[in-house]
Amino acid sequence: MGDAPAVLPLPLPLHNNNNTPSSCTLNKRHTTTGTRTNGVGVTRDMVVKKEKEKWASFMTWTHPPSFLTAAMGDAPAVLPLPLPLHNNNNTPSSCTLNKRHTTTGTRTNGVGVTRDMVVKKEKEKWASFMTWTAEDVAHVAKFHWVPCLFAMGLLFFMGVEYTLRMVPSSSEPFDLGFVATRSLHRVLSASPELNTFLAFLNTVFVGMQTTYILWTWLIEGRPRATISALFMFTCRGILGYSTQLPLPQGFLGSGVDFPVGNVSFFLFYSGHVAGSVIASLDMRRMQRFELARTFDVLNILQAVRLLGTRGHYTIDLAVGVGAGILFDSLAGKYEESKKIPSIAATTITKDAFFT
């Protein structure tokens, strides 16, 4: 029986104040098993239950408690709403007499949740792929072929990477773009005037990018393109200084190429390409599709010319495209977080200022 103290029962009065036998000793006797405390019968089960309350809580569990089943499944452990014992006529409600539910486990919103249901829910979370069928695989291959294509690309390039002979430190980097533009490089090397003319056209294109980006802010009052350009060039400066790549062999410079004057520049990544992507994305947002396509074509020609003059590695140009997309998206999120109003809508005119 445990540590329950054996308390002697208090004696019940045999007579009341009128010296007559007390009715509680005649008509209200209780037959119990165990000890008596303050005139109340204490059964053996009550003593065992009291002992269990002293033990660790989990040692008395007979089924998963509500908080554990809530953690295992998505259904919150909500206590069922109490059913009314009486209706409006003060008669026992039929739902308490005839509509009792016997369930195993917890109750959620009055609905019985069995242990098997909880285990089934957990299995669905742990091993989703075990429920796949051949129809599911065919559906993925038909309607989600792009991720499937990338999965095949992952496996292919894993094989290439792990079997490829690495370039020795004494050799120049291998660049597939340089291989593809080998003929253009020979032409530009043999014709410095053509190289200078193409460099001049490239500088004009960079000026077009810069003019458009500043125009959207200063004239149209839309700062997103300018903010994304500031983000992009700042990050380019940090990365370019952190890893200073060697100038490619066979580099063909020009005094009119941007930056003008044969000054030094960061190779990683291409600000030419990233700036053009930022401008093109803004044009598409404003439904200037013809101008956006023109910038995309000029950007492709610019990339070919940079590879032909060995002004950038292929990775510089590819990351430039990604950087333009990334920082345009970040600038949009920055605008949403700050809720920057249109500068054109908030500009104070001279008449309003002096009146």
How far is it, in rounded angstroms, from Cα 29 to Cα 40?
10
Token pair of 282, please? 């803004």
* Cis-peptide, bond into residue 259, ω within 30° of zero: yes
**Strand 40-41 to strand 36-37: parallel, antiparallel, or no bridges (unpaired)?**
antiparallel
How long is the chain? 355
The 3-state DSSP class for residue 40 equals strand
316 is catalytic: yes
Instruction: Single out the catalytic residue among 185, 257, 272, 282.
Output: 272
Instruction: Single out the catalytic residue among 185, 257, 282, 312.
Output: 312
257 is catalytic: no
How is 206-227 classified by DSSP, letter by letter?
Answer: HHHHHHHHHHHHHTT---HHHH
**Of 204, 179, 174, nearest to 308 (Cα)?**
179
Instruction: Single out the catalytic residue among 185, 257, 282, 316.
Output: 316
The torsion angles phi and psi of 273, rounded to 5 degrees, stand at -70, -45
The Cβ of residue 153 has, within 10 Å, a number of other Cβ atoms equal to 10
Which residue numbers are catalytic? 272, 312, 316
